[in-house]
Amino acid sequence: MLSTMQDVPLTVTRILHHGMTIHGRSRITTWTGEAEPHRRSFAEAGARATQLANALRDELGVNRSDAVATLMWNNAEHVEAYLAIPSMGAVLHTLNLRLPAEQLVWIVNHAADRVVLVNGSLLPLLAPLLPHLPTVEHIVVAGPGDRSLLDGAAPQVHEYEELIAGRPTTFDWPELDERTAAAMCYTSGTTGDPKGVVYSHRSIYLHSMQVNMAESMGLTEKDTTLVVVPQFHVNAWGLPHATFMTGVNMLMPDRFLQPGPLAEMIERERPTHAAAVPTIWQGLLAEVTAHPRDLSSMASVTIGGSACPPSLMEAYDKLGVRLCHAWGMTETSPLGTMSNPPAGLSAEEEWPYRLTQGRFPAGVEARLAGPGGDFLPWDGESAGELEVRGPWIAGAYYGGASGEPFRPEDKFTADGWLKTGDVGVISPDGFLTLTDRAKDVIKSGGEWISSVELENALMAHPEVAEAAVVAVPDDKWGERPLATVVLREGAKADFETLRAFLAESIAKWQLPERWALVPAVPKTSVGKFDKKVIRKQYADGELDVTHL
Ligand code: ADP
């Protein structure tokens, strides 16, 4: 028997319409670096998104299913693109502005982007690539920047504001199949070519609803979220669409992502929530330790992308800011878990839950695959590779304009689950604790050592600013840990002291023998520790290694 319910497609168009009408007074505030930030209501942003859709179709000839790229910071215009492009049936393709040039070129060509919306300040990055981007027919420039960099460029150049000015604020939005492509994002390709994940209208709609659940980020119109996580990093974790559903105000840092301006915008604009990777919060902590600022408006912060050191959580607790751990990937839209402890616990009882990556929300099914192809119990002890499935989880990668979607065996199981490449345990009540990425785990004499556990323990030392641990080859054990450490200014701790400190919480056989001081831990394009680079530095003899 079929149901008797209406079959209304779940589309971004509906999110746009809802936000601009029901929550028309909510605001997007964009930091400008000047005395006053720029403020725009959801009603205005929605109207401008509609004008943009008209311009893209009528002036630039964008058709359904065409890929339209953005190379932009987090700002109101980028949100407009997020709403306009999918709603008209085209595909929003966010470009990671921190990728090396050759990867950006590869990605734009693979996606066959016809248009690039770019912030003026990023023209020095885009202009030199243009001769290698034959599919790009139009460039649309928004915000300050030197336009002369585009002199002689093959694509047609347009000014964002001029392009949308005077266009209709209505559009005959197509009634889209909810399974059509709405947006795409490429994984950063730490191994092999980048892989494109194509989100559907339905996946974005359902993911946005989950982001908004009280058990997840749980924000309302009374909140303002500081969206530090870039819009090119898995759709800013879903926030631009989720906020349009619930009227949560957005505070957008644009290109002012350094700790100083972030501290200033928090103190002045008083956001109640923020989202970013741990390295951002490490940097901000160092800043406010040196120059105190009031961060206490941020009742909650969603932190994810890599493991959150417990010491960081403790430090923010003292500032009245509660960090809430979340886990996800480009392939999972990204919300996969969030760590809100079960109800009714004391602060002390909550603590071990807060340290986990969190619980799976409705919509994300999980299982742990053991080494022999068996599935492991959720007993908090059996460690295996996490596999997930659900309506906002990728089932394949984009095959390019002429290719079929593909499902590499190391990423998808025969029965359609995503293999995350993350290793961990799940407690009987469904809380996930990741011990490592499969490729970062240290395999020492048949036993596994968690690099994350060593890093967290090291970063709990008061004189350690950052620490990254990688596996390096060892004649006797196969692999052993190498600890690379960034000390705080004026720190006096030596390696013996740090090793003794580790020995207080880590089994003796896991303690690193190899140590190196480094000025900074290398980071990936989205701000995670880049362990591949550290392993290469070690292999190339570039690190000054002490053996204890
Ligand atoms: P990349 O693979 O380039 O880092 P993603 O942003 O998709 O791109 O990264 C997803 C991975 O990031 C996950 O598979 C996991 O290893 C790691 N990750 C994300 N969130 C967390 C977290 N809260 N704790 C530990 N690792 C995390």
Provide the domain limits for residue 518. 440-547
**Is 170 known to be catalytic?**
no
Ligand 1 center from residue 285 Cα (angstroms) = 22
Closest C-alpha to 419, from 409, 427, 429, 428: 409
The answer to the question of residue 220 being in a domain is: no
pLDDT the model gives residue 438: 84
pLDDT tens-digit readout, 427-453 = 999 999 999 888 898 988 878 899 999
Ligand 1 center from residue 391 Cα (angstroms) = 19
pLDDT the model gives residue 439: 86
pLDDT tens-digit readout, 158-176 = 999 999 999 999 999 999 9
Residue 189 reports pLDDT greater than 80: no
pLDDT the model gives residue 526: 85
Written as six digits, the tokens of 275 are 């989202």
Q: pTM higher than 0.85 for the full model? A: yes
CA dihedral 115, 257, 100, 464 (to 10 degrees): -160
Q: Whose alpha carbon is nearest atom 9 of ligand 1?
A: 329
Strands 464-474 and 67-71, bridge-based pairing: unpaired
pLDDT the model gives residue 527: 87
Query: Under a CB-based contact definition with an 8 Å cutoff, are residues 225 and 248 in contact?
Result: yes
At residue 469, what are phi and psi to the nearest 5 degrees?
-120, 130
Ligand 1 pocket, mutate which of 216, 327, 356 (most atoms under 8 A from CB) = 327
pLDDT the model gives residue 355: 95
Please identify, by atom number, the ligand 1 atom nearest to the C-alpha of residue 234: 6
The answer to the question of residue 381 being in a domain is: no
Give the end of a domain, one of 169, 200, 231. Answer: 200
Ligand 1 center from residue 128 Cα (angstroms) = 31
Query: Under a CB-based contact definition with an 8 Å cutoff, are residues 99 and 107 in contact?
Result: yes
Please identify, by atom number, the ligand 1 atom nearest to the C-alpha of residue 337: 23
Q: Which of 448, 523, 532, 546 is catalytic?
A: 448
- Percent of the chain topping pLDDT 70: 99
The answer to the question of residue 115 being in a domain is: yes
DSSP code of 444? E
Q: Whose alpha carbon is nearest atom 11 of ligand 1?
A: 329
| CATH number of the domain residue 486 falls in | 3.30.300.30
pLDDT the model gives residue 190: 59
**Is 443 known to be catalytic?**
yes
Report the number of distinct structural domains present in the chain: 2
Query: Under a CB-based contact definition with an 8 Å cutoff, are residues 244 and 227 in contact?
Result: no
Mean pLDDT of the chain: 95
Beta carbons within 8 Å of 42's beta carbon, 6+ residues apart: 19, 20, 23, 24, 25, 26, 27, 28, 244, 247
Residue 372 reports pLDDT greater than 90: no
pLDDT the model gives residue 129: 98
Q: Which of 187, 246, 330, 332 is catalytic?
A: 187
DSSP code of 149? G
The answer to the question of residue 271 being in a domain is: no
Ligand 1 pocket, mutate which of 237, 306, 313 (most atoms under 8 A from CB) = 306
The answer to the question of residue 395 being in a domain is: no
Q: Which residues line ligand 1 (CB under 6 A)?
A: 187-188, 190, 234, 304-307, 325-330, 357, 420-422, 434, 437, 526, 528
pLDDT the model gives residue 401: 85
The answer to the question of residue 184 being in a domain is: yes
The answer to the question of residue 28 being in a domain is: yes
pLDDT tens-digit readout, 462-484 = 999 999 999 999 998 999 999 99
Give the end of a domain, one of 150, 170, 200. Answer: 200
Give the end of a domain, one of 181, 200, 219. Answer: 200
The answer to the question of residue 56 being in a domain is: yes
pLDDT the model gives residue 446: 79
Dist. CA 28–CA 243, nearest whole Å: 10
pLDDT tens-digit readout, 85-108 = 999 999 999 999 999 899 999 999
| CATH number of the domain residue 105 falls in | 3.40.50.12780
